Structure 1
């Protein structure tokens, strides 16, 4: 009886693969582990970089350091910081702060030379076009407002303002008096169109939100949205001014932020030459500045 049991167990073990009693391959091709076989996981060795001590960076003499580029100096400062924080010695920490002091003095020297450069080249200085004194700023604001108003009145017969609205739009009732003020002061034709009563208008002009205020050029397909929702009168004035300048070709898209009276000045993106490859002044790969001069 015992012999029969032993034979049966031997047959069972010999047919283990068919019974699904073999575990997955663990050690490579052809080496399997049994179902009840246990092998402790191999210890994970720590990262060698973490075991190694932080190396002491080589700090060059000052005569050589002054020739280094700022990115290279920044990397050296970072290396010295890590080293000093690791060893925590007075000399290592002092070397770190010596490098920081060098970087500080170099930055201050750059700022000083910058002031001299801006005085020598006022076209690069914002203060030449943007005074900080209160009285001068008020005078500049009034001057810009006069330029905008004169320009808009000059083009009043060429353009019109249209506000698209709905009868159920409460914001439209707030925006409409602002457009009426524009009509009274600028002499433009201003009209409103209900896109619920004339649903084809919204699809034709791409209007979904009300109120939407649009500049339309008479006798052409040119039009441009200048306000979506409620817009203040000064902002509406400025947006209409910029839109007319763009539609008439007086400015390029890159000059959209160029305000009234800022043409060819510090705040004109194209004052000192092209800034994009689409600019017509980019000829044969050379950047030709205004007046035919190379910048």
Structure 2
């Protein structure tokens, strides 16, 4: 009974809900319709709305400037040189040197009298030019003491006199030097050249008074008992750069050392090297060293002394420059003209 009484109520509520849904449908449809034209007049004519601002594009970062590596400028083009040099003046020495042999070969290939005579005349011209040059050469040398080699050193028997005087001066200078300098001899006992050098050193010690100190690289004496007061090497050879024996050094206490040779020397060569080494080291003065030379006057023309950087174009000016240089050398302090004997 109770179940039957509740069914009419359920149907009643369903009818009410359906009626409400139908009543709300027009309103929902109206809200979903798009807004009509006349309902949007508040937005402005033609609906000019301000467009949303667009952020300006971020400027691109500038690319780093390329690194420019400096390059050396291209080398200047070499001047164009005419491959054909100018022809020398006809019949000049240069022309004869370039063409005389050609005329000789032509005469050999075609020995007609004309060609042979032409070659012979050209040859005579060249010989006559050479003869005139030789004669003038001799006259100029005789008239200019700076060009005459007999001014520096006489010839013939007078040269022997000059050699004798120079030898006396050399011995005097060597004997003076021997009072303050000596000779070191580095040797090996099995070195035959060292044994051959020993008598020369003994003669030098006897004649000039030099003290000779022998230094044995192997700690053993020389054959024959030469220089018995030898000393074993204590590193001096390595410090002095000894690479061969016999090795000779000129030594001046307390610390002066000048190399002479690493090999055999005759007595004359040894004395000359001693003088040269002492002069280079400043142990003998220039005047003493000059007196040991067999020269009357040292008229050496040295281009390294105060010569100008440009050469005069005028031959007379160029000649005057060279003569002035020769005179300056003759009057220099190391000249021997004032102290050396003149040739009779």
Decide: shared fold, TM above 0.5: yes
Q: 1:95 to 1:207 in 2, by over 3 A?
A: same
5 Å-filtered alignment, 1:54-133, equals 65=91, 68=92, 70-133=93-156
The count of aligned residue pairs is: 217
Q: 1:262 to 1:132 in 2, by over 3 A?
A: closer
For residues 291 and 220 of structure 1, what CA distance do their matches in structure 2 show? 39
- 2:33 corresponds in structure 1 to none
- 2:276 corresponds in structure 1 to 242
**TM-score normalized by structure 1?**
0.63
Unaligned regions of 5+ residues in structure 2, if any?
A: 1-88, 220-232, 311-320, 330-344
For residues 148 and 280 of structure 2, what CA distance do their matches in structure 1 show? 26
Q: 1:163 to 1:257 in 2, by over 3 A?
A: farther
Shift of 1:206: 1.3
For residues 126 and 291 of structure 1, what CA distance do their matches in structure 2 show? 15
Q: Tell me how large the CA RMSD over aligned residues is.
A: 3.5
Aligned: 1:200 with 2:235? yes
Shift of 1:284: 6.8
1:215 to 250, 265, 288: 250
Shift of 1:262: 3.0
Q: 1:283 to 1:115 in 2, by over 3 A?
A: closer
2:198 to 154, 162, 176: 176
For residues 196 and 208 of structure 1, what CA distance do their matches in structure 2 show? 14
Shift of 1:114: 1.1
Aligned: 1:143 with 2:132? no
For residues 127 and 290 of structure 1, what CA distance do their matches in structure 2 show? 16
| Greater C-alpha Rg | 2
2:306 to 273, 282, 292: 282
1:262 to 295, 319, 335: 295
- 1:157 corresponds in structure 2 to 179
Q: Does the 8 A contact of 1:165 with 1:194 survive in 2?
A: yes
Shift of 1:146: 0.9
For residues 254 and 290 of structure 2, what CA distance do their matches in structure 1 show? 27
Q: 1:250 to 1:290 in 2, by over 3 A?
A: farther
Q: Does the 8 A contact of 2:175 with 2:208 survive in 1?
A: yes
Q: Deviations over 1:78-136 (max 9, x none)?
A: 222233233322111111111111111111111111111111012212233333323x2
- Structure 1 stretches of 4+ moved >4 Å: 256-259, 290-293
Q: Does the 8 A contact of 1:77 with 1:96 survive in 2?
A: yes
Q: Deviations over 1:176-217 (max 9, x none)?
A: 121122122222222111122327333211112111222223
Unaligned regions of 5+ residues in structure 1, if any?
A: 1-59
Q: Does the 8 A contact of 1:147 with 1:261 survive in 2?
A: no
Q: 1:284 to 1:128 in 2, by over 3 A?
A: closer
**TM-score normalized by structure 2?**
0.54
Give the structure with the larger strand fraction.
Answer: 1
- 1:231 corresponds in structure 2 to 265
